[in-house]
Amino acid sequence: MSRSAGDVHVFEAHASDADLDDLRARLAAARLPERETIVRSAPDPRRWDQGVPLAVLEDLVDYWRTGYDWRSFEARLNEIGQYRTIIDGLGMHFLHRRSERADATPLILTHGWPGSIAEFVDVIDELADPKEQGMPALHVVVPSLPGFGYSDKPTETGWGVERIASAWVQLMGRLGYNRFVAHGGDWGGNITAILGGSFPDHVLGIHTTLALPPPGMTTDSLTATERARVEETRDFWQNNRAYAKQHATRPQTIGYALVDSPVALLAWLLDKFAEWSDTEDGPFETISRDRILDDVTLYWLTRTGASAGRIYSESPHSLDPDLRVDVPSAITMYPGDTESRTPRAWAQERYRRIVRWKQPETGGHFPSLEVPEYFVRDLQQGLATVLAASG
């Protein structure tokens, strides 16, 4: 339900009891395949070589059906503050947490796939009103990408990363934030780069955990360690992107399974939480079962398994090869994020004002969930450096 407030409407999430009962009934009636043929005892990362192990999935399905509490997460979203507005003909959902400090700077946080706004619910309060003295305060805006969560599903093609970045500028302006900073990873990192590169009149600077270099880079000037990381990333892009090819070429086909079967959806998303986290034997070493199920249940209740995957077909090349980012940029390369281990020498060919470069010892693709305390501090310090450089 929503209440009008000009062009922006207050939104409250509330799944029906019937939808939650239906979810539990589908989980109880699920038909699972036989056990994988590579059988290892935990802990062992090779347990995941054929995908999500049957024992892991059976345990999580049982917990999802009998122990997980969606209402708690739903209440947290409503507590933060949820809103919707129409931009370029599409309804956009977003969280908005204003800081109590008068000197706060607006910040837009953009998630990716298989993530959602659930990635940021545990860090928003500290970003808005930091306990540590000297840290910047931020008016935090967390939109749901088109086709994700409570944002509308596009009914036509054309909603690629460039159009989304333009929509974010309109969204921030509608909230009275004509100048702001931006952060993102995964698809959010692509959108954040476009914000910094294409909208410098609005974007004071950026912080990102994804720094895609322009094409044509060579390894000649790299260290042995950097070359090894580049090879690992190349191996990922060449051999571990079947999910992305499916989304990019046949999102409708896989979408039938993801919207009809909660077990299919859970396995499809959990596989990436496991592969991309900085862990030895699955994502639950660093991320709680509840937070992963918050994310998966949000996809399930909003029926966005197909629509979320279409971002891969809408933005097959991620970034314009000629895009350059001249606003101050803070970049953090987490070691467990095999999707992005870009050497600084390559990154600075696109991000031409890198004012802070960090390579922490731990953390993967989902740092706000895996290492939330470090993520918050790094983001705060990075944005403080960006703001100082922007004047």
What's residue 52's pLDDT? 96
Name the least confident of 47-56, 163-172, 199-208: 47-56
Name the least confident of 216-225, 293-302, 352-361, 367-376: 216-225
- For the segment 295-303, the average pLDDT, to the nearest whole number, is 98
Under CATH, which number does the domain 2-390 receive? Answer: 3.40.50.1820
* Total residue count of the chain as it appears in this document: 391
Task: Give the global pTM.
Answer: 0.95
Give the C-alpha separation, 163 to 266, whole Å. 29
- For the segment 40-63, the average pLDDT, to the nearest whole number, is 90
pLDDT tops 50 at residue 333: yes
What's residue 241's pLDDT? 87
What's residue 1's pLDDT? 34
**Confidence at 233, pLDDT banded by 50, 70, 90:** confident
Q: What is the DSSP letter of 279?
A: -
Which residue did the predictor score with more confidence, 99 or 219? 99
Give the C-alpha separation, 345 to 97, whole Å. 36
Give the C-alpha separation, 357 to 344, whole Å. 8
The residues spanned by each domain of the chain are 2-390
Give the rounded distance of the alpha carbon of 190 from its chain centre: 11
Which residue did the predictor score with more confidence, 260 or 391? 260
What's residue 160's pLDDT? 97
- For the segment 218-236, the average pLDDT, to the nearest whole number, is 87
Partner residues linked to 183 by β-bridges: 109, 207
**pLDDT, mean over the chain:** 94
**Confidence at 149, pLDDT banded by 50, 70, 90:** very high
Q: In this predicted model, what pLDDT tens digit does every residue of 64-78 receive, in sequence order? A: 999 999 999 999 999
DSSP string, 336-377: T-TT----HHHHTTTB--EEEEE--SS--S-HHHHSHHHHHH
What's residue 5's pLDDT? 43
What's residue 2's pLDDT? 40
The helix (H) or strand (E) run that includes residue 139 is strand 138-143
pLDDT tops 60 at residue 4: no
- For the segment 58-62, the average pLDDT, to the nearest whole number, is 98
What's residue 339's pLDDT? 78
Sign of the CA dihedral with 170 first, then 12, 69, and 36 last:
negative
Which residue did the predictor score with more confidence, 374 or 316? 374
- For the segment 231-237, the average pLDDT, to the nearest whole number, is 84
- Of 143, 148, 152, the C-alpha closest to 90 is 152
The pair phi, psi for residue 10, each rounded to 5°, is -65, 135
